[in-house]
Chains A and B, each alone.
Chain A
Amino acid sequence: MKAAYIILLLSIGPVAVLAQHDKMARIPGGDFKPFLLSGDRRQTIKVRSFYLDVHAVTNEEFLGFVKTNPEWRRSKVARLFADSHYLTQWAGDLDIGDARMAKSPVTNISWFAANAYCRWKGKRLPTMSEWEYAAGAAPVHYKGGRTLTKVILEWYDHPTPVVLPAVESTYKNAFGLYDMHGLVWEWVEDFNSIVGETAAGSDSNPFVCGAGSSGTTNKKDYAAYMRYAFRESLQASFAVGSLGFRCAQDIENPIIVH
């Protein structure tokens, strides 16, 4: 199948253009109903078509970034942009260590590091709406025929293993994306965009009982509740062991390849 794909590409001609979206899926635009509403309480948000990496960025891939961008090495990174947990799972600045981790999603990276990686690739972090919309697609051929919610809740119940499983090891969804749930949490560009009910600042945390639940669209969606609560608790410099990322790209913009 893969060979056939390559031959097809060669026969078409503009290989470069298509090849740049290797390992990205084109997500068709559509309406998305956010779990947590704020502000004008609009029920649906329109998500425009975009590209999204089919799997989360791996340790191996992130090593490539760190090699060419020394300011993102563990020993050099500014504390403002990544806390002291940054890449602590690696053996050294340019050494992943445990070979089993090469294909595992990179974690312990801050928002700033994830953002810098995506820019370096000519990409960007997905917005929260894009990510949630893309992650909402049903699994294809998921073993046991479990529902998405069941998959997620089971994952929540298991501690994060020392060596994370490789990417593309859980399930594929209808958009062709792997592991949107069940492997790691993922950074989104605007994770700090949920403003409390009254938009009055710190005393209106939307997740405090009552205040938060009245702003949600589906009170039974515990999995989404956890995801939004987790994002709420983050700061952009935090490096967390169960938090990785993948990159997105606009359809219309030119692509810069490094």
Chain B
Amino acid sequence: MKAMLTALLAGLTLTGISCHKQAASRTPLCCAKEKAVTASLMPGRLAGNASIYQLPGVWTDQHDRTFSLDALKGKVQVVAMIFTHCGYACPRIVREMRAMEDSLSAAQKQDVGFVLVSFDAARDDPAQLAHFAEQQGLDDRWILLHGSAAQVRELSLLLNVRYQRLEDGNYIHSNTVVVLDRQGGIQKTLEGLGPAREAAVQFIGRLASR
């Protein structure tokens, strides 16, 4: 499904060129590579739900403990990438995730973890992450992770989160919440600031009770 969506996006991407009025007359020039691109995006080539916990590397959590992604194994995890200096979108994402947490039954809560990974390797050190967790009222079920810029890029690629560091040190990013199964396979990707929360909670609950 995801592969198909990607292929569809690629299709949109490329047809986007021909609807550019000036580009239209140039269309033949672009077609050979265009075909190559489209062919590379045929469905069925993605890793499916291979565990993202295969990504090596040591992170640090908000309690200044070293942390490998592998340690997330065993629970269903709800993951987002944020930065704490973010004024609007990130607090909203966190609120959404908290609302999901609140909607789970007591039994389900035991089996679900919440993870926030910071884009901001420079400013979001463990102390800052701890401060943010307190500010947002996040309990022990939440893990906030700090990693190097290179680690953050790698993880963003596995989670399909887009982001860019701006010169003022802030970030623009897609607003994505990812649901991982107990092994670390991506089971659902929620996009946008107002995901269908009820459906998401049901989905998380179903995964947790499996």
Contacts and interface: CB of A to CB of B under 8 A. Distances in A.
Interface residues of B, number: 58
A153 interface: yes
B134 interface: no
B196 to A, nearest CB: 13
B46 A201 contact: no
B74 interface: no
B33 A242 contact: yes
Interface in A214-258: 219-220, 222, 225-226, 229-230, 232-233, 235-238, 240-243
B162 A193 contact: yes
Given A156-B30, A190-B153, A222-B26, A233 B6 contact: yes
A157 to B, nearest CB: 5
Nearest to A216: B20
Contacts of B28: 157
A193 B81 CA distance: 14
Nearest to A46: B167
Nearest to B55: A80
A199 interface: yes
Interface stretch (A4-12, A24-32, A136-144, A202-210): A202-210
A122 interface: no
A222 B6 contact: no
Contacts of B163: 192-193, 195
Contact of B89 (A192, A199, A210, A219): A199
Interface string B8-26: 0110111111011011001
Contact of B23 (A195, A225, A241): A225
B172 A201 contact: no
A156 B33 contact: yes
Interface in B19-55: 19-20, 22-23, 26, 28-37, 40-41, 45-48, 50-52, 54-55
Interface string B87-108: 0010000000000000000000
B36 A209 contact: no
A84 interface: yes
B48 to A, nearest CB: 8
Most buried by B among A159, A189, A190, A205: A190
Given A213-B20, A229-B13, A229-B14, A157 B156 contact: no
Given A189-B153, A219-B20, A240 B33 contact: no
Interface of B: 6, 9-10, 12-17, 19-20, 22-23, 26, 28-37, 40-41, 45-48, 50-52, 54-55, 89, 150, 153-154, 156-158, 160-164, 166-168, 172-176, 191-193
12 contacts: A39-B172, A193-B164, A195-B164, A195-B174, A200-B175, A201-B176, A207-B12, A208-B13, A209-B20, A222-B26, A226-B34, A232-B13
Please list the 10 inter-chain residue pairs (A to B) with the smallest Cβ-Cβ separation, ordered nearest first: A236-B157, A201-B191, A209-B19, A39-B172, A233-B10, A193-B164, A80-B50, A240-B40, A79-B47, A207-B13
Given A112-B154, A213-B20, A230-B37, 13 more contacts: A85-B40, A153-B26, A155-B33, A157-B32, A192-B156, A201-B191, A207-B17, A222-B17, A225-B20, A225-B23, A229-B13, A233-B14, A233-B41
